Chains A and B, each alone.
Chain A
Amino acid sequence: MTITDTFAQHPVLSADRPAQMAAAKALRAARARKGAIAYHTAGAAIVLFFAAPFVIAGLSSFRNGTEAQTAPLPPWPTAGFSVDSYRTLDSFGAGIWQHTVNSALVSLATVLLTVLVSLLAGYGFSRYRFPFKNALFVLIIATLMIPFQSILTPLFIILAKLGLNNSLFGLTLVYVTLQLPFSVFMMRNAFDAVPKEIEEAARIDGARDLRLLARVLLPLVLPGVATVAIFAFLNAWNEFLAALVLLSSNEHYTLPVLMMAVRAGRLGAINWGAVQAGVVVMTIPCLFVFLLLQRYYMRGLMAGAVK
């Protein structure tokens, strides 16, 4: 008995088989089309939802001088594009360039120091055996539970004693300190996920100490490094309170502190255009860093979750 015979005897498929198959095919196609439409509609809605703040801030920063003085409703230029708001923003403090450079210096230095220290600390906690290892690790993690505002005063006093008050370097050290617990935790996890055998194979191949770390292990923990770098950068770039408290001279202000001055306005009048221009200036590096590293970042957060 052939397969055709079997089908011929089957009561459901017995009638007009070509027509039935065509109908089933059409049904499948319709279902697929429906699914695609729903998928793309939902996707477009989500994109709109997330892109809206950026679009609104971007558009309203290009309103002209008089329009910029009023509340941003509607949030796009009605009397032509102009860069008046950016000029106004530049007239605050020591100029927008100076403050951007301040912020960039502090943020990049924070990223560098945090990555360096947490890389070594994470490696040590993951691979070496030493007394009180777990107690020390828990202690480091426990500092995450202390609200940062509560140690602001002691930090201020310590920096003053060290003569690092009102300096970008002092601020950087504070940011690194705040960033380290999370970063060490992150890097320890990243190193834990690297099989020990790979390190042992490298040791047999003659790689030791820093060469082992740089040539073999660093590429493997790169997702973790990217995660730590993104967090360090964003937190240092956006941090406001410590910068406000620890910096006292105008020319050292970072962007968030400058923004407060802009937001407060002059003589009580808020320049909405300048505020939006500041928002744009502050957003661009964050977007840039995130888009640059997001591929690694996702892998870093997922590390250990699967497999």
Chain B
Amino acid sequence: MNMIARDMSHPAGSEATAAAPSPSVELVDVCKSFGALQVIHGINLTIPEGSFAVFVGPSGCGKSTLLRMIAGLEEVSDGLIAIKGREVTDLDPSERGIAMVFQSYALYPHMTVRDNLAFGLKMAHTPAEEIAARVAAAAAILKIEPLMDRRPGQLSGGQRQRVAIGRAIVRKPDVFLFDEPLSNLDAELRVSMRIEIARLHRELGNTMIYVTHDQTEAMTLADRIVVLRDGRIEQVGSPREVYQDPDNLFVAGFIGSPRMNMLTASMQGEERLLLAKTVLPSPARAASGDVVTLGIRPEHLRLVPDNEEGLSAQVDFCEYLGGTQYLYCRLPDGQAIVAEHRDRATVFAGAPVRLGWSTGDARLFDSQGQRLR
């Protein structure tokens, strides 16, 4: 197993993690238009060798289009794409050193699993012994040896996805591209395949680019999250950075579940703000009188005694999730706020509560939605 892993791993991958990472995929001013409609607006992005980048964003944000442009399945309207220092903007998909795993698996239904894995190598006129060896190695990594003579129609969803990943592995690509590969699987299988993909990345060490709209997948898999909206990059960073240090309201609201509370307030002096008739310390400075948005994640809110600093609110209803409860509350000025309550004590709907937080956990955004630090 060890030997296989070493054999399959990309030689540059292990170097890259040790030394300063060299760029594996570079996008320079990449644009895409369908007719008059521009869907990708000048994307600049560098993905280091061996990293696991996840494109995440709401549907229609252009994340799949961007991935397909890297794959060569979608033409680039403007800009350049380089993979491993080689410009590939106008190369055929098969010449880019990439492999792709599709949401719908896209296995060849008339071929056995073995032939599905071998097809790309046959197309490249690889010698038969090498094909057999590489197919066997990929099958071993994914533990699909017993399925080799079946057809895709005889496999379950999870098995099909393994075969699709196997088809990518045998190509020994520089970059793996995943287009929402787990969306067709049920919840339980999704979790186990997610772990499988993470394991695969650790074993192979290749650069992987993964598209998803599921932020749990993004957070757990990525070492680099690219948040996209309307064909533009909103923020690039590690899961921790994107979660704890969002650049703007969109990223703050998109990452995290349940989403961050966004409360409209106005500045009272440069360091205090007025929110729901209460004056509170502001997490960042802003001009007095400015309308700002205070962002607090539900897990940073706690129930505090009446004499402590905080906001009084009324509980509209509670969600009991076992280990935790979500309290859906309403502030005196009508704004909604969700608080996570880990205490075992039950809180009933209609109860008056006082919500407090430490100022360092809150984030401040200006009226344009940009972060104030």
* Contact among A198, A204, A220 with B71 in the assembled complex (CB-CB below 8 Å): A204
**A295 contacts the other chain (CB 8 A):** no
Chain B residues near A195: list those with CB within 8 A. Answer: 104, 106
Asked if B98 and A205 make an inter-chain contact with CB atoms under 8 angstroms apart, the answer reads no
Interface residues of B in 69-117 (CB under 8 A from A): 71-73, 92-94, 98-100, 102-110
The answer to whether A219 has its CB under 8 Å from any CB of chain B is yes
A235 nearest CB across to chain B (Å): 29
Inter-subunit contact B167/A201 (CB<8 Å): yes
Residue B281 CB within 8 A of the other chain: no
CB 8 Å contact bits of B108-134 with A (1 = contact, 0 = none): 111000000001100110000000000
B-chain residues with CB within 8 Å of residue A205 when the two chains form the complex: 94, 119-120, 123, 167, 171
Q: Which of A201, A206, A215, A219 contacts B124 (CB 8 A)?
A: A206
A286 at the interface (CB under 8 A from B): no
Of the four ranges (under 10, 10 to 19, 20 to 34, 35 or more), the interface on chain A belongs to 10 to 19
Q: Chain B residues near A207: list those with CB within 8 A.
A: 94, 119, 123
| A197 adjacent to chain B (CB < 8 Å) | yes
Whether B98 contacts A204 by the Cβ 8 Å rule is: yes
B94 touches A197 (CB 8 A): no
Query: Could you tell me if A211 and B123 are in contact, using CB atoms closer than 8 angstroms?
Result: yes
> Is residue A120 contacting chain B, with contact meaning CB distance below 8 A?
no
Q: Looking at chain B, what size class is its interface with the partner chain?
A: 20 to 34
User: How many A-B contacts if CB must be within 8 Å?
Assistant: 60
Within A215-230, the residues touching B (CB, 8 Å) are 215-216, 219-220
Contact A204 B99 (CB under 8 A): yes
Q: Are B102 and A197 in contact (CB under 8 A)?
A: yes
Return B186 CB to nearest CB of chain A, in Å: 19
The answer to whether A200 touches B106 (Cβ under 8 A) is: yes
Confirm or deny: A202 has a beta carbon within 8 angstroms of a beta carbon on chain B: yes
Determine whether A33 belongs to the interface, using a CB cutoff of 8 Å to chain B: no
Q: Which chain B residue lies CB-closest to A208?
A: B92
List of A residues within 8 angstroms of B124 by Cβ: 206
Within 8 A of B (CB), among A161-207: 195, 197-198, 200-207
Enumerate chain B residues within 8 angstroms of A197, measured Cβ to Cβ. Answer: 102-106
Contact check, B73 vs A198: say whether CB atoms are below 8 A apart.
Answer: no
**CA–CA, A216 and B115, complex, Å:** 12
Name the CB-closest residue of B to A204: B93
Q: What 1/0 mask marks residues of chain A from 5 to 20 whose CB sits below 8 Å from any chain B CB?
A: 0000000000000000
CA distance A216 to B119 in the complex (A): 10
Question: B84 CB to closest chain A CB, in angstroms?
Answer: 17
Residues of A within 8 A of B171 (CB): 205
Closest CB-CB distance, B61 to chain A, in whole Å?
20
A204 shortest CB reach to chain B, Å: 5
Closest chain B residue to A200, Cβ basis? B73
A200 touches B102 (CB 8 A): yes
List chain A residues, Cβ under 8 A from B94.
203-208
In the assembled complex, the Cα of A198 lies from the Cα of B72 at a distance in Å of 15
Chain B residue numbers with a CB within 8 Å of A216 are 108
Tell me the A35-66 residues at the B interface (CB within 8 Å). Answer: none
Which residues of A236-274 are within 8 A (CB) of B? none
Tell me how far the C-beta of B67 lies from the nearest C-beta in chain A, rounded to whole angstroms: 12
Most buried by B among A201, A216, A219: A201
Q: Which of B103, B107, B108, B120 contacts A204 (CB 8 A)?
A: B120
Q: Specify the chain B residue showing the minimal Cβ separation from A207.
A: B123
CA distance A197 to B178 in the complex (A): 13
Contact for B73 among A203, A206, A208, A211, CB less than 8 A: A203
C-alpha spacing A108/B160, complex, angstroms: 40
B103, B105, B108: the one within 8 Å of A202 (CB): B108
For the complex, give the distance between the alpha carbons of A94 and B150 in Å. Answer: 54
Q: Give the complex CA separation of A204 and B102 in angstroms.
A: 11
Given contacts A219-B110, A220-B109, contact A203 B93 (CB under 8 A): yes
In the bound complex, residues from chain B placing their C-beta under 8 Å from that of A220 are: 109-110
- Distance between A187 CB and nearest chain B CB, rounded to angstroms: 17
Contacts of B107 on A, CB cut-off 8 Å? 198, 201
CA gap between A215 and B120 in the complex, in Å: 12
Expressed in whole angstroms, the Cα–Cα distance for A219 and B152 within the complex equals: 14
A198 to chain B: closest CB distance in Å?
A: 5
Set of chain A residues within 8 Å of B167, measured between Cβ atoms = 201, 205
B92 near A198 (CB under 8 angstroms)? no
A205-B73 Cα distance, complex, nearest whole Å: 12
In the assembled complex, the Cα of A208 lies from the Cα of B71 at a distance in Å of 15
Contact between B106 and A203 (Cβ–Cβ < 8 Å)? no
A303 to B155, CA, bound (A): 22
Q: Which has the most chain A C-beta neighbours within 10 Å: B71, B73, B167?
A: B73
Distance of A207 Cα from B121 Cα, bound (Å): 10
- Contacting residues, chain B, for A201 (C-beta < 8 A): 100, 102, 106-108, 167
Please list 29 pairs of residues, one from A and one from B, whose beta carbons are closer than 8 Å in the complex, sorted by A's number: A197-B105, A198-B106, A198-B108, A198-B109, A200-B73, A200-B93, A200-B100, A200-B102, A200-B106, A201-B106, A201-B108, A201-B167, A202-B108, A202-B119, A203-B72, A203-B92, A203-B93, A204-B71, A204-B73, A204-B98, A204-B100, A205-B120, A205-B167, A206-B120, A206-B123, A206-B124, A207-B119, A207-B123, A211-B123
Known interface pairs A205-B167, A206-B124; 15 further A-B residue pairs with C-beta atoms within 8 A, sorted by A's residue number: A198-B107, A198-B109, A200-B100, A200-B102, A201-B102, A201-B106, A204-B73, A204-B94, A204-B98, A205-B123, A206-B94, A206-B120, A211-B123, A216-B108, A220-B109
Please list the 3 inter-chain residue pairs (A to B) with the smallest Cβ-Cβ separation, ordered nearest first.
Answer: A205-B120, A197-B106, A206-B94
